[in-house]
Amino acid sequence: MKQVDYIIVGGGFAGFFLAHQFLLSNNSFLIYSAGQVSASHISAGICNPVILKRFTTFWKSAEQMDYLETIFAEIAAYTGKNYIVKEPVARIFHDDAEKKQWLRNAEKDNLKPFLDPNFVQLKTVENPLESGIVKDSCRIDVENFFQDMTSYFTAANQFVSESFDYNAIDAENSTYKNIKYKHIIFCEGVAVRDNPYFDKIPVLPNKGHCLEIKIDQSIDPYVIKKKHFLFPLSENRFYYGGTYDRFSTTPEIQLQSVEELENGLKSFYKGNYKITKVKAAFRATVADRRPILGTHIDIKNFHIFNGLGARGVLNGSYFSKQMFDYLEHQVELDPDIDVKRFY
């Protein structure tokens, strides 16, 4: 019987960032993922320390941005690539009141490092009131990150491309099929609702749509944000998205959401474009806007790492280290993120 320290269930940001921590520490692990498209896989991958609606910051934003450089440098050491794309966010202003609010907030100590008081005039999109630049913001090359990480873990025999079968767990003897494990960590996003061990944890699905579009011209070298994000994926390929829908429960593409995206794009980009792909998936969100980490109330080697919300890269990378330290070094979790808050 094969023996591993950890079984990781889920191949999104939570599962892959946690696997990275175990890789660095020489812990043995297996990732189980059937390859289904999740919110992580279609996400914009924006790493932004500012809430762009109110120009404020959020809990542990500075710490998360600092750690981002560290973890992606570590990943680059074995994949040969650094997936951070240094394209800062350019927020198109809707009115003068927003510009004034930006400037006021830019003087605050916690926002001064991020809100650039010097506005820019973008050249390829309409922004008559100029745009504000979020300093040190960036994005992740999500597409290549998942392709390369999956290939790396597969080649190392650490990735199992199949659905996880809860019925095959023998919790009493800590076995799964022909594998003896020390721990199982469920990093399943919204699929946790079908998990018999954590199905009562209040993860809330939030459906997001995004577009892949073809534009036969270059645009300003920023992640451009008005209502949604626009940025290049490769030559003539662009990402535009995403929407937020707390009420939809079906996976199908919704024409209303596509129309919302097109209207948002046309409000500032007046050139020709062609939609080549429409994607949709459910983000795993939590009412208190904190991720969920910790241990099952009864089965002490069953754990959860979930609820990354719309900040999958930042939450996933930063809190994977918190989860690792909790599991391997018995460092107590912050009560704000501990799953115990739901027991």
pLDDT single digits (tens) 142-180: 999 999 999 999 999 999 999 999 999 999 999 999 999
Q: DSSP 3-state assignment of 20? A: helix
Instruction: Identify the pLDDT of residue 36.
Output: 80
8 A C-beta contact, residue 260 and residue 253: no
Nearest alpha-carbon partner for 192 in 184, 183, 201: 201
Q: Residue 220 falls within a domain, yes or no? A: no
Provide CB contacts within 8 A for 59, sequence distance 6+.
289, 290, 336
Instruction: Identify the pLDDT of residue 131.
Output: 98
- Check residue 222 and give left, alpha or beta (phi > 0: left; psi -120 to 50: alpha): beta
pLDDT at 195 over 90: yes
The total of structural domains in the chain comes to 1
- Rounded average pLDDT over 236-256: 95
Q: Residue 239 falls within a domain, yes or no? A: no
Q: Residue 279 falls within a domain, yes or no? A: no
Sign of CA dihedral 167, 173, 174, 177: negative
Read off the pLDDT of residues 67-83 as tens digits, 9 standing for 90 and up: 999 999 999 999 999 99
8 A C-beta contact, residue 85 and residue 141: yes
Instruction: Identify the pLDDT of residue 128.
Output: 98
Q: Residue 57 falls within a domain, yes or no? A: no
Cα atoms found within 13 Å of the Cα of residue 11, Cβ hemisphere only: 27
- Count Cβ atoms below 10 Å from residue 302 Cβ, excluding itself: 19
Instruction: Please state, in angstroms and as integers, the Cα–Cα distance from residue 144 to each residue in 119, 148, 151, following that order.
Output: 32, 6, 10
Read off the pLDDT of residues 106-132 as tens digits, 9 standing for 90 and up: 999 999 999 999 999 999 999 999 999
Read off the pLDDT of residues 199-242 as tens digits, 9 standing for 90 and up: 999 999 999 999 999 999 999 999 999 999 999 999 999 999 99
Instruction: Identify the pLDDT of residue 246.
Output: 94
pLDDT at 35 over 90: no
Distance CA 183, CA 175 (A): 10
Q: Residue 178 falls within a domain, yes or no? A: yes
- Rounded average pLDDT over 286-297: 97
- The CATH number of residue 165's host domain is 3.50.50.60
Angle at Cα 50 formed by Cα 74 and Cα 48, nearest 5°?
A: 30
> Would you state the structure tokens that stand for residue 59, as one six-digit string?
């809990």
Q: Residue 13 falls within a domain, yes or no? A: yes
User: Each residue of 86-123: b (16+ CB within 10 Å) or e?
Assistant: ebbbbbbbeeeebbebbeebbeeeebeebbbeebeebe
Provide CB contacts within 8 A for 274, sequence distance 6+.
213, 214
Distance CA 196, CA 166 (A): 8
User: The pTM is what?
Assistant: 0.97
The three state secondary structure string of 247-309 is CCCCCCCCHHHHHHHHHHHHCCCCCCCEEEEEEEEEEEECCCCCCEEEECCCCCCEEEEECCC
8 A C-beta contact, residue 9 and residue 160: no
Q: Residue 39 falls within a domain, yes or no? A: yes
Note down the domain range covering 314: 2-43+143-203+288-342
Confidence of residue 41 (pLDDT cuts 50, 70, 90): very high
Q: Residue 255 falls within a domain, yes or no? A: no
pLDDT at 37 over 90: no
Q: DSSP 3-state assignment of 123? A: coil
8 A C-beta contact, residue 206 and residue 244: yes
8 A C-beta contact, residue 113 and residue 107: no
Instruction: Please state, in angstroms and as integers, the Cα–Cα distance from residue 307 to each residue in 122, 140, 157, 185, 248, following that order.
Output: 35, 19, 28, 14, 18
Cα 158 to its chain centre, rounded Å, is: 22
